[in-house]
């Protein structure tokens, strides 16, 4: 059970988090933070026009650290903090302008995540595909590798959609809010409470990131958000596997993040014949952003556009057939919008 005193601790955590982020923002021009300033205004995925701090990872890591100290009885939160440490210290290298070859970065990330998955037993038991489920349930190594791949894709997908004010923060908030509803409905109080904590974390961050960004997530921030999303989704899947919450429900929640990663790699390799690890301006969210800014004279709608079909999934979580249809419709919708906007850009 969640004790009453925890509500005071939640309030204290919120104040400390806001104060920490306020301090970073107020001192953004100080020398000790200058190394975290994003000054690359001409890179393809950039649209900011003034120096902006990339300290979202530092903030999220600080939030996890303080939360772990305040809520010592929540062992899952402690495990999540320990798992975040290697990801944070690895991903912050890029925010410190220490460049690592993209392919090597992917290999290192896979190794780190595989170790964490095996340690915390973050296994995915069911996908509703018989042959794959047979491998996952009878051979631990395949289960660990599959879970690792899923988490790596979610982390990279989060990094893909970061950079446009509020997109990653609001999209992640809606996913976590839906996970809270599901966990609360089935009585998973600890996971419900953790969802509330991370909703507070994102709400505090968004006050400095949306609609006008004073602080960016940075690589470390988007990696940590992706890690938190992945662990919450897998843990919710494990807790609700006997309650008729079907795997395609979680696939629908994460479909957009997966789509940005898979589709980007596919089009670069197959159609554009170029290195899939290097950025360009042809991602779906960039096309939508450019269209809205040019034709609708606003870009705020992008923050909600890719989250609408996830809300539909919440009302279908116990209907496997309809969830499969929704999953396919989501992909067709994204591809249709992409092709339409590519033609209009030309």
Task: Tell me the pLDDT tens digit for each residue of 35-56.
Answer: 777 656 555 555 555 777 788 8
Question: pLDDT tens, 73-89?
Answer: 888 888 899 989 999 99
Question: What three-state secondary structure class fits 216?
Answer: strand
Residue 225: count other Cβ atoms within 10 Å of its Cβ: 28
Percentage of the chain modeled with pLDDT above 90:
26
Question: What average pLDDT does range 281-289 have in this prediction?
Answer: 80
Whether the predicted pLDDT of 67 surpasses 90: yes
Helices 189-206 and 218-239: angle between axes, nearest 10 degrees: 160
Instruction: With CA atoms as reference, report the closest residue to 158 among 93, 197, 202, 195.
Output: 202
> What pLDDT score was predicted for residue 318?
75
Whole-angstrom CA distances from 34 to 59, 60, 97, 163 are 16, 19, 11, 19
Let me know how long the chain is: 346
For the cut 70, the answer to whether the pLDDT of residue 303 exceeds it is no
pLDDT digits (tens, 9 = 90+) for 213-252: 788 888 899 999 999 999 999 999 888 876 677 888 888 8
Cβ atoms of residues 193 and 6 within 8 Å: yes
What number of CA atoms fall less than 13 Å from residue 239's CA on the CB side? 20
Higher pLDDT, 324 or 51: 324
Alpha-helical regions (H) of the chain = 5-26, 56-70, 75-95, 102-120, 130-138, 140-161, 167-185, 189-206, 218-239, 247-253, 255-266, 284-291, 302-305, 308-314, 320-345
- Of 135 and 253, the structure prediction assigns the larger pLDDT to 253
Single pTM value for the model: 0.89
Residue of higher predicted confidence among 7 and 194: 194
Averaged pLDDT of the chain: 83
Within 10 Å of residue 280's Cβ, how many Cβ atoms? 14
């Amino acid at each position: 059970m969640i004790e009453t005193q925890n509500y005071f601790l939640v309030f204290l955590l919120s104040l400390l988090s806001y104060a920490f982020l306020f301090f970073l923002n107020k001192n953004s021009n100080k020398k000790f933070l200058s190394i975290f300033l994003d000054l690359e205004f001409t890179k393809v995925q950039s649209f900011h026009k003034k120096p902006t701090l990339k300290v979202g990872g530092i903030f999220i890591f600080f939030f996890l650290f303080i939360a772990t100290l305040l809520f010592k009885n929540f062992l899952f939160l402690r495990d999540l903090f320990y798992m975040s440490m290697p990801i944070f210290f690895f991903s912050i290298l890029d925010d410190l302008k220490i460049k690592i070859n993209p392919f090597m970065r992917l290999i290192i990330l896979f190794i780190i995540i595989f170790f964490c998955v095996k340690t915390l037993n973050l296994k995915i038991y069911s996908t509703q595909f018989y042959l794959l489920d047979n491998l996952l349930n009878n051979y631990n190594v395949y289960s660990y590798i599959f879970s690792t791949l899923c988490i790596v894709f979610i982390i990279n997908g989060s990094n893909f959609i970061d950079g446009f004010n509020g997109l990653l923060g609001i999209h992640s908030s809606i996913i976590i809010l839906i996970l809270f509803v599901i966990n609360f409905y089935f009585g998973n109080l600890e996971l419900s409470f953790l969802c509330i904590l991370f909703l507070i974390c994102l709400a505090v961050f968004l006050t400095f990131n949306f609609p006008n960004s004073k602080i960016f997530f940075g690589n470390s921030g988007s990696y940590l958000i992706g890690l938190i999303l992945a662990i919450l989704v897998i843990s919710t899947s494990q807790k609700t596997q006997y309650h008729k919450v079907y795997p395609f429900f979680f696939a629908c929640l994460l479909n957009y993040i997966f789509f940005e990663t898979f589709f980007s790699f596919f089009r670069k390799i197959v159609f554009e014949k170029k290195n899939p690890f290097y950025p360009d301006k042809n991602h779906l969210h960039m096309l939508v952003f450019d269209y809205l800014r040019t034709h609708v004279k606003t870009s705020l709608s992008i923050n909600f556009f890719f989250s609408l079909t996830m809300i539909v999934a919440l009302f279908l979580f116990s209907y496997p057939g309809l969830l499969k249809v929704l999953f396919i419709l989501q992909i067709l919708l994204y591809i249709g919008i992409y092709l339409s906007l590519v033609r209009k850009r030309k």
